[in-house]
Every structure is written in structure tokens, then in C-alpha cells.
Amino acid sequence: MKLIFLGTGAGIPSKERNVSAILLDLLQERGTTWLFDCGEATQHQILRTTIKPRKIENIFITHLHGDHIYGLPGFLSSRSFQDGTTPVTIYGPKGIEAFVKTSLEVSETHLRYPLYFKEVDDGIIFADNDFVVYAKKLQHGIPSYGYRIEQKDQPGELLIDKLQAMGISPGPIYQHIKENEMTSLPNGEVIHRNDVLGPNKSGNIISILGDTRYDKSFIEFIKNSDVLVHEATFAKDGKDLAHDYFHTTTEQAAQLANQAQVKHLLLTHISSRYAGDKSEQLQVEAATIFPDVQIAYDFFEYEIRKA
């Protein structure tokens, strides 16, 4: 499981940073990937990676400002030409369905796959056997949401030594035992999975917030996340600007991460005023409050593992 940042800039694209888009790679966990926001030229960014558009099954839109959605119609259209035939579901605030459908209808674009929409509100917006996704409304100029992705606990590792002591040699039978509650052996013996598995492995928690002001009320929503992705449009001396434009500073994002006891903080949505070496200033400011922090950049990949 990893995050791939396809766009890390704020507002408009720059030579260093494209506008917002983040991919959550779940190929090992479920054979698919999820996309969070889809700013202009996201599909161009994808061309520079190994990402396969046909593998994207869910798209989560934080809010409807152009730097987060203008790449969506083009991406959806191109997916049809790249062997995309499986369904896609788009989650987002009210208006996302109208935006996408109008764009596709006016351009007479016909998709080869089913497209579904789910308007989000606070609470659970997605759940299956492996993951639960929660949404929470943030503080921005228009409705903006954060998403908390919780992976359900995973079965522990097979106790190989115990199986071998029982006379069960390695082979396909091991996988069968792990995937089934009970397994009957050729000699009639029945193996109960829980007897030969180690403790469950706790799932990962990833929180990805859209554009927002700093607000302590978000602490509970992101609490104990293995990784928090948060905007840092301004340096700490831009606190007034951040408030006026409904954004967050490096210092504020670090404070929130610290208060919520997250394990790692990734800062994105960086203003073009911090081009080049100036981004190092943002790293230093945040690290003085929350040491486990990185400034994301385009094509940056972060592997999500339990400590």
C-alpha cells in the first residue's frame, strides 16, 4: 500500500508542481487503485508513472475548486481508450455529478464503462470486507471534505513451525488453511485456522484532508492515523493569509498532526511562492513541531507500513 503524489501545487500549475491529485495504490490489497482529486493534466502526470488508469475504481473529490477537478473529464474519457471497462465510482460534494455529466454530454463523450456518483456527507461513505472510508466536512470557502481510510485488521501469519510439527508439509495446503475457517486433511484430521495463526495484524489508517483552515475539531477525525496528508499552502508567517483564503500553514498542520498523535505527516498543496529551495523552509518549520514530516513533491511515493 502506498501513496503516489501526482500533483502537489496550490491553485495553478507551476514548473515544479502540478495541481492536486494523489493516488492510493491498493494493488496488493485489492488489485485496484483509488484517486483523490484530479486536477488539470492529471492524466499527463500518470503517463510518467506505471499507473494503469483502468485499475482506478474509486475517485474521491475533496471539493469543487478547479485545481482539484479540471482534469476529471479528460481522465474519464481517456480511460475508455486504455482498456477501462470496469465501473468507476466518484465520491464528492454536491455538484460533482453535474460537473462531470455536463462535460461529457457537451463533448459527446461516451464511456465504455459504468460511471456512478455518491454525494458525500459526514460519516461512512464506503465500506466492504477490507476498508471503511469516512468523510468529514472541513473549513473552506466552498464545501470541502477530508477522507479517513481505515483498513480492517488482517489475519495473522501462519505458524509454520506449528504446522510442520503437526506433520503438514509446505505447499498449497498452507494457503487453503489461511483462507478457510476449517480445513480437512486427507487423513480426516480437521485444522481450525485460529489454532495455527498468529495475532491479527492491525490495518493501516490514512487520512487525506482537502483544502481547509486549521481547526481543532478535526483532531478526533484524524486521530492515530498512520499517515496524514494535509495541505500547507503557506509558511507560518502567512497565518493571516491562510485564514483569509481558508487555508493552513505549515505550523498549523504540524500542530494538528501532533495533537492527533498521527505517525507521519505529508504536506502538500504548496504555494508557488515557495519554489526551489524555499520549500526547505516549510520542512524546517513543520519539523520543529512534528519531526516525522515530509514535504511531498510531484511523483513522490510513500510506502505505508505499520511501525
The answer to whether residues 110 and 217 belong to one domain is yes
Given a contact cutoff of 8 angstroms between Cβ atoms, the answer to whether 183 and 145 are in contact is: no
Last residue of a domain, one of 173, 195, 217: 195
pTM here is: 0.91
Given a contact cutoff of 8 angstroms between Cβ atoms, the answer to whether 193 and 178 are in contact is: yes
pLDDT surpassing 90 at residue 193 = no
Confidence of residue 203 (pLDDT cuts 50, 70, 90): very high
Confidence of residue 241 (pLDDT cuts 50, 70, 90): very high
Residues recognised as catalytic: 67
**% of the chain beyond a pLDDT of 90:** 81
Q: Work out the angle between the directed axes of helices 96-106 and 72-80 (0-180°, nearest 10).
A: 60
Return the number of other C-beta atoms located less than 10 Å from residue 62's C-beta. Answer: 30
Query: Per-residue pLDDT tens for 13-61?
Result: 999 999 999 999 999 999 999 999 999 999 999 999 999 999 999 999 9
Given a contact cutoff of 8 angstroms between Cβ atoms, the answer to whether 161 and 218 are in contact is: no
In Å, how far are 45, 53, 141, 279, 289 from 271, measured between CA atoms?
19, 28, 17, 9, 21
SS3 of 294, please?
A: strand
Given a contact cutoff of 8 angstroms between Cβ atoms, the answer to whether 113 and 198 are in contact is: no
What is Dmax (Cα atoms) for the chain? 74
Query: Per-residue pLDDT tens for 152-176?
Result: 988 788 888 888 888 888 888 888 8
Return the number of other C-beta atoms located less than 10 Å from residue 157's C-beta. Answer: 12
The answer to whether residues 111 and 136 belong to one domain is yes
Which domain, by its residues, includes 185?
A: 160-195
pLDDT of 174 reads 87
The answer to whether residues 110 and 238 belong to one domain is yes
Q: Work out the angle between the directed axes of helices 278-287 and 250-259 (0-180°, nearest 10).
A: 30
The answer to whether residues 97 and 207 belong to one domain is yes
Return the number of other C-beta atoms located less than 10 Å from residue 305's C-beta. Answer: 11
Given a contact cutoff of 8 angstroms between Cβ atoms, the answer to whether 163 and 177 are in contact is: yes
CATH number of the domain to which 65 belongs: 3.60.15.10
Long-range contacts of 128-131 (CB under 8 A, 24+ apart): 130/29, 130/30, 131/30
The answer to whether residues 122 and 240 belong to one domain is yes
244, burial (CB in 10 Å: exposed 0-12, middle 13-18, buried 19+): exposed
The answer to whether residues 150 and 164 belong to one domain is no
Count of structural domains within the chain: 2
**Which residues, including other chains, have CB under 8 Å from residue 162's CB and lie 6 or more apart?**
196
Q: Give CA–CA dist 236/251, Å, rounded.
A: 5
The answer to whether residues 75 and 118 belong to one domain is yes
pLDDT of 166 reads 86
pLDDT of 215 reads 96
Query: Per-residue pLDDT tens for 104-116?
Result: 999 999 999 999 9
The answer to whether residues 88 and 180 belong to one domain is no
The answer to whether residues 225 and 253 belong to one domain is yes
Mean pLDDT of the chain: 95
Q: Give CA–CA dist 147/10, Å, rounded.
A: 19
pLDDT surpassing 60 at residue 307 = no
The answer to whether residues 168 and 22 belong to one domain is no
The three grid cell numbers given for residue 17, joined into one nine-digit string: 508542481
The answer to whether residues 165 and 209 belong to one domain is no
The answer to whether residues 234 and 191 belong to one domain is no
Q: Give CA–CA dist 128/152, Å, rounded.
A: 9
